[in-house]
A and B are shown apart, each in its own frame.
Chain A
Amino acid sequence: MTPAHLPLLQQVLLVLAAMTLLTSFVLLQQARLVAAIHAFAWQGVLVAAMTLIVAVSENHPHLYFSAVLTFSMKALLIPWMLHRLVRRLELDRHIEQLARPSLVIMAAVALVIFSYWLVLPIVQHGLEFTRNIVAVSLAVVLIGLLMMVVRRQAVAQVLGFMSMENGLFLAAVSATSGMPLIVELGIAFDVLVAMVLFGVFFFQIRESIDSLDVDNLNRLTESREDT
């Protein structure tokens, strides 16, 4: 079965999934924080749109609610909070180049292939078309984690964390038509609280080590040895 046999909505879904993957890559290598936040917001928009399409095509009414929730949280609220945070921390002109951008990109590509390979048995099992998107969501999760590993800037790490959450949500939507509503609400609330906590932490970190470069946290161990 090839895309030609799918209804139009599901073709659109595939395109959106591919673009979600693209935003993950953009997040990974975007040097400017503000632009990275925008990319994250776009990823939220795409995830919300995909939820909406799954809701329409598979007729799951509660997914409409999830879509609205995702859109308002991931595409509007959290990016807005991050944006404000970055401005207050005076990081809006901050540029952080990756040390080995091409290597990181190749690693991310390898992650995509790897997650495809992991999902392969599941895909052969069930024949629902959404299962293919599971590979993409897994890749989004893994790339988010990779981003947390390679980025030194704390805000960028939070972006990686949030995009991991996007991937998990996408996996839930595509594999099982979404989680129960109560779980979803709980997660959304958790993410929001996490966001607020991160904000508080940023200020604390900055106050104590005068930077948001997490590599500087290494010094904490050394100072213990000194005493």
Chain B
Amino acid sequence: MSTSPALWLAGTAVGLALISALLSLLTGKATRLLRIVVMPLFAAAGLVALAAGLTAMLSGGVSTAELPMGLPWLHWHVRLDALSGFFFCVVGVVSFAVGIYASGYIRGFEGGRDSLPALGGFGGLFLAAMLTVLLADDAFMFMVAWEVMSLSSYFLVAFHHEHAANRSAAFLYLLMAHVGGLAILLSYGILATFGHGFGFEAMRGAELSFGWASAAFVLAFIGFGMKAGLVPLHAWLPLAHPVAPSHISALMSGVMLKVAVYGFIRVLFDLIGQFHWQWGIVVLTVGSISALMGVLYALMQHDLKRLLAYHSVENLGIIFMGLGLSILFLSEGHQIIGAVAFIAALYHSMNHALFKSLLFMGAGAILHSANERDMEKMGGLLRRMPWTGLFFLVGCISISALPPFNGFVSEWLTFQSALQVWQLDSGVLRSVVPIAAAALALTGALAAACFVKVYGIAFLGRARSRAVRRARPAPLTMQVGQGILAALCLLLGVLPTTFIALINIVPQQVLGHGLAQATAHGWLWLTPVSEQTASYGAPLIAVLLIVALVIGLWLMGRGVLRVRRCDAWDCGFAPPNAGMQYTASGFAQPIRRVFGMLFHIEEGVESLPDGRRRHFLRVKDRAWELFYLPIARLIEQSARRVALLQSGNVRIYLGWSFATLLFLLWVVT
């Protein structure tokens, strides 16, 4: 047993998060304290967690400890290895930015009816629980922390509980989280039975047959997939994430989903430790469908936060596509390509945490300044909130996977690993993987379309409502929080080789070997497989783009590039007004029509009570009618069957109890 600095730092981070939660509950009416003490503490917890993660990855060792807590015969074990360290960084960096951002953001709630101490308290608890999940080294501690994470986030989702819709969203979230938790528990159960112990160390040694390993895999995939919002288990996500306060949405979408990814990697790659191509195909298929459906449904939304939530479904789909490819290649013995796909998935986890939190913060800033979530009422915000607009643009470019920002690097890596499919022996796999890659290409292009829509409608053009026309720039702390993440998006996009060299330790520890050749040609070149196969010189592209921009700005500053302002031309029609602009639904109409069969569209003209008529358009999630309603109906039917037992007669109940007692006695003997 060794306690390393990394582990100390990790413990400190958890402690700081808990202290911030406690302090928050103590503040009571003094909500200013929340802003100047609790949120900075939250940010500090994030920073320390980041430091712990970095230390763990840089030291390259594994540090474990046993805590004098938990059950008498089963003390809690903690362990910090490179994988946990990486996800510590993900959680830490976002929490740091969120902490800074939130101290400005929660000002909007001051004087409202909402209980701010609860917000801070559950927020701190949420962070502490997430970090504890990452630290856990036995199934018991993992499950406890996991459930605390689910519960505390439930209270955060239900924060604005005065709306019935929010309450039902939160309840659905709780329900799904529990079903998922059950699946995870069963998966651990299988591993524990064969490994003779609840510690992860014992589970690693479990000798599983293919059937039992597959059962454990399927249960873990369902459990963690539910938390990660994979289609068709995603229905709670677009309902629950948007209704929480924006900085919590950022944490949930950006970070909590990554904890689910961590859990899946931990169980499959580390604990089960065997790979079969059938699993790879399952994960790849579910990932592709999630990615595609997520982005298509996102395109149909015009509530900004719900749109972002659907994009989380898409991005988690992309992450799981990377994991699926990794399983596929590892099962066929192609270690290097497996590592490329694995790194792609990790990289995308980090990227998604950064840009999704950034975008949610942007949505929060709009909510803060203009009290508006409906994109159809926005417009022209870039001129009202220039810094938020700039950072939001960075987020949009990153999530659309465009160079030279970070989203492109991870999607490029995913493509590169898919392109190595010619190395596989099986022709069937060789023809299935390109189709999945084509789905990824379509997803990327549709995501770009979606964010052209978001940015074009919300930040460009003209304001479509009075509140938006008068929006004021967000407070400084909110801008700083966004700025940090935006800078990191650019940094990870420009220096991918350096970052990959840093996280290379994760596949080294988990898979047994890293990706030496990716970084072999210096920091300028990223060559995942070999120099001849594919290369990407991100710094050069970025430098050239920036040079062009700087020259342009310099010329503009010198007054060489002057422009004259005039009315918009618009083909010489009457001067356009705000109502003549394209709307968000109008922008998405061609795509809605082309992919019409995937949506449940209700469109028509309805009569209003006052006799006027109005066009309506509702796009509903097909998953409900195809997946959830049948299950709900099934449960209701079986419940009715069970209800037959409920005759109301006390003697019959006693009879049941008697029969049970007899049965148990028989079992015991």
Contact, chains A and B (beta carbon distance below 8 A) = yes
Interface residues of A (CB under 8 A from B): 100, 109, 113, 116-117, 120
Q: Tell whether B432 is near chain A: CB-to-CB under 8 Å.
A: yes
Q: Are B597 and A113 in contact (CB under 8 A)?
A: no
Q: Are A116 and B431 in contact (CB under 8 A)?
A: yes
Q: Are B597 and A117 in contact (CB under 8 A)?
A: no
A116 to B428, CA, bound (A): 8
Question: What are 11 A-B contacts defined by CB distance under 8 Å?
Answer: A100-B597, A109-B435, A113-B428, A113-B431, A113-B432, A116-B427, A116-B428, A116-B431, A117-B427, A117-B428, A120-B427
Binary per-residue interface labels of chain B (404-448) against chain A in the complex, 1 for a CB within 8 Å, 0 otherwise: 000000000000000000000001100110010000000000000
Contacts of A120 in B (CB 8 A): 427
CB distance from A110 to the nearest CB of B (A): 10
Who on chain A is nearest to B431 by CB? A113
Q: Within B430-470, which residues are at the interface with A (CB < 8 Å)? A: 431-432, 435
Task: Give the interface SS of chain A, mostly helix, strand, loop or mixed.
Answer: helix
Who on chain A is nearest to B594 by CB? A102
Contacts of A109 in B (CB 8 A): 435
Most B Cβ at <10 Å: residue of A100, A113, A120: A113
Q: Within B510-531, which residues are at the interface with A (CB < 8 Å)? A: none
Contacts of A116 in B (CB 8 A): 427-428, 431
CB distance from B528 to the nearest CB of A (A): 25
A117 to B435, CA, bound (A): 17
A116 to B427, CA, bound (A): 8
A100 to B432, CA, bound (A): 21
Contacts of B427 in A (CB 8 A): 116-117, 120
Contacts of B428 in A (CB 8 A): 113, 116-117
Who on chain B is nearest to A135 by CB? B427
A50 to B33, CA, bound (A): 84
Contacts of A117 in B (CB 8 A): 427-428
A151 to B428, CA, bound (A): 28
Who on chain B is nearest to A103 by CB? B597
A90 to B275, CA, bound (A): 60
Binary per-residue interface labels of chain B (379-413) against chain A in the complex, 1 for a CB within 8 Å, 0 otherwise: 00000000000000000000000000000000000
Contacts of A113 in B (CB 8 A): 428, 431-432
Contacts of B432 in A (CB 8 A): 113
CB distance from A98 to the nearest CB of B (A): 12
CB distance from B339 to the nearest CB of A (A): 28
A45 to B441, CA, bound (A): 36
Apart from A100-B597, A116-B431, A117-B428, what 8 extra A-B contacts exist at CB < 8 Å? A109-B435, A113-B428, A113-B431, A113-B432, A116-B427, A116-B428, A117-B427, A120-B427
Binary per-residue interface labels of chain B (559-583) against chain A in the complex, 1 for a CB within 8 Å, 0 otherwise: 0000000000000000000000000
Contacts of A100 in B (CB 8 A): 597
A194 to B427, CA, bound (A): 38
A209 to B56, CA, bound (A): 78
Contacts of B431 in A (CB 8 A): 113, 116
A109 to B428, CA, bound (A): 12
CB distance from B144 to the nearest CB of A (A): 45
CB distance from B584 to the nearest CB of A (A): 25
A136 to B597, CA, bound (A): 31
Contacts of B597 in A (CB 8 A): 100
A100 to B595, CA, bound (A): 11
A116 to B432, CA, bound (A): 12
CB distance from B596 to the nearest CB of A (A): 11
A120 to B431, CA, bound (A): 14
CB distance from B395 to the nearest CB of A (A): 32
A117 to B429, CA, bound (A): 10
CB distance from B388 to the nearest CB of A (A): 40
A117 to B597, CA, bound (A): 30
CB distance from A89 to the nearest CB of B (A): 31
A74 to B427, CA, bound (A): 32
Who on chain B is nearest to A113 by CB? B431
CB distance from B328 to the nearest CB of A (A): 16
Who on chain A is nearest to B428 by CB? A117
CB distance from A17 to the nearest CB of B (A): 16
CB distance from B428 to the nearest CB of A (A): 5
CB distance from A129 to the nearest CB of B (A): 16
A120 to B429, CA, bound (A): 13
| Top 8 A-B residue pairs of the complex, sorted by shortest distance between their CB atoms | A113-B431, A117-B428, A116-B427, A113-B428, A100-B597, A120-B427, A116-B428, A113-B432
A88 to B496, CA, bound (A): 67
CB distance from A13 to the nearest CB of B (A): 20
CB distance from B535 to the nearest CB of A (A): 26
CB distance from A106 to the nearest CB of B (A): 9
Who on chain A is nearest to B595 by CB? A102
A117 to B427, CA, bound (A): 8
Q: Within B593-643, which residues are at the interface with A (CB < 8 Å)? A: 597
